[in-house]
Amino acid sequence: MKATATIIAAGLTILFWAPSADAETSARLLVKGNASPGSEIAIQVEVSWDGRPEELLPRVPQVEVPEGAALRLGSTGSRYDGSRSVWWTNGTVSLPDRGGPYVIGPARIPTATGAGEGPTIIAAPRTMGRGRTRSLLGQGLASGLLITLVLGLLARWWQGLLRTEAMGAPIGETAQRLEALLDAGQAQTAVDVGLALHDLLAAHPIAQDYLAPRQGLESQKDEIAFGGQVVETDTVRERVGPLLAIARSLE
């Protein structure tokens, strides 16, 4: 049983391309991520057609997701290469806690033209993950691994308390590298380093209380990865400015 979710906002290894009934118009559903229970999968619904952007207006897609999954809003973009137009919208599917396989899609994209309603274009579904088999032996092994993992996490937590002061070194080095990349105009690399700095600060027992969510930088990275956007240095500098301020306060 599936629940139908709708991508509402204008805002991934390629696995499938599904042509529509119109040979000049195509749609595809792209998915990217680790298909494990409770994980997040990035998706992109894309429509392309021969002609200028104004000749076809894709509307809000309807994407079917597994029961218990949640679809978060993403971003929308488009491009035109002089002969063919491409429109896309991104989203994130939070998979349910139960095991796979997980079927995402199909995606149905209604369209409009200058003459009125256009065709509904369909991108075929994608199946991710594998079914999970269990046995008494498998459950025993899983329990043993879980205990080992918990003990390991407790040990790491204790060691982290002992070396809180030493954490300032990688934070300071990462902040310096980020500033150097911004000064050099390497905005795209600066986005990745900014995310790394956010992760370091999130592990710091004091800095973590002052961090803003990292969605802004993740959205910037998605636009670069999926939309072919050219990111501006000033935009990145504005997003990572609070991170640099927190890093400096720890010196």
**Cα 119 to Cα 99: distance, rounded to the nearest angstrom:** 36
Q: Which domain holds residue 121?
A: 2-128
pLDDT score at 49: 92
| Count of the separate structural domains present in the chain | 2
pLDDT score at 10: 30
Q: What is the pLDDT of residues 179-237, one digit of tens each?
A: 998 898 888 888 888 888 888 888 887 777 777 777 677 776 766 666 556 678 888 88
User: Residue 214 falls within a domain, yes or no?
Assistant: yes
29 with 90, same domain: the answer is: yes
Task: Kindly report the average pLDDT of the chain as a whole number.
Answer: 76
Domain boundary among 113, 128, 143: 128
User: Residue 141 falls within a domain, yes or no?
Assistant: no
Q: Which helix (H) or strand (E) holds 217?
A: helix 215-227
User: Residue 159 falls within a domain, yes or no?
Assistant: no
> Phi and psi dihedrals of 38, rounded to 5?
80, 0
Confidence of residue 162 (pLDDT cuts 50, 70, 90): very low
Express the helix, strand and coil content of the chain in percent, nearest 5 each. Answer: 40, 30, 30
- Residues in the chain, total: 251
Residue 69 per-residue DSSP state? -
User: Residue 147 falls within a domain, yes or no?
Assistant: no
Confidence of residue 35 (pLDDT cuts 50, 70, 90): confident
User: Residue 40 falls within a domain, yes or no?
Assistant: yes
What does the longest C-alpha to C-alpha distance in the chain come to? 69
Most confident of 1-10, 120-129, 202-211, 226-235: 120-129
**236, 190 contact by CB (below 8 A):** yes
Domain boundary among 128, 150, 183: 128
Domain boundary among 78, 108, 128: 128
| Residue that the structure tokens 């900014």 belong to | 194
Which has more pLDDT, 133 or 202? 202
Q: Please check the confidence at residue 240 and state whether its pLDDT lies above 50.
A: yes
pLDDT score at 72: 83
**Cα 57 to Cα 8: distance, rounded to the nearest angstrom:** 15
121 with 200, same domain: the answer is: no
**Of the listed ranges 11-20, 81-90, 199-208, 234-243, the one predicted with least confidence:** 11-20
108 with 210, same domain: the answer is: no
Confidence of residue 76 (pLDDT cuts 50, 70, 90): confident
**pLDDT average, residue stretch 105-112:** 91
Residue 184 per-residue DSSP state? T
119 with 169, same domain: the answer is: no
Q: Please check the confidence at residue 164 and state whether its pLDDT lies above 70.
A: no
Which has more pLDDT, 113 or 213? 113
User: Residue 136 falls within a domain, yes or no?
Assistant: no
Confidence of residue 153 (pLDDT cuts 50, 70, 90): low
115 with 183, same domain: the answer is: no
pLDDT score at 125: 92
User: Residue 150 falls within a domain, yes or no?
Assistant: no
pLDDT score at 154: 67
121 with 204, same domain: the answer is: no
* CATH code of the domain covering residue 70: 2.60.40
Q: Long-range contacts of range 243-248, CB-CB < 8 Å, 24 or more positions apart?
A: 243/175, 243/178, 243/194, 243/197, 243/198, 243/201, 243/211, 244/175, 244/178, 244/179, 244/197, 246/201, 246/207, 246/210, 246/211, 247/171, 247/172, 247/174, 247/175, 247/197, 247/201, 247/207, 248/175
User: Residue 156 falls within a domain, yes or no?
Assistant: no
How does DSSP assign 7-40, residue by residue? --S--------EE-SSTTEEEEEEEES---TT-E
Tokens (6 digits) for 161: 């308390």
What percentage of residues in the chain have a pLDDT greater than 90? 20
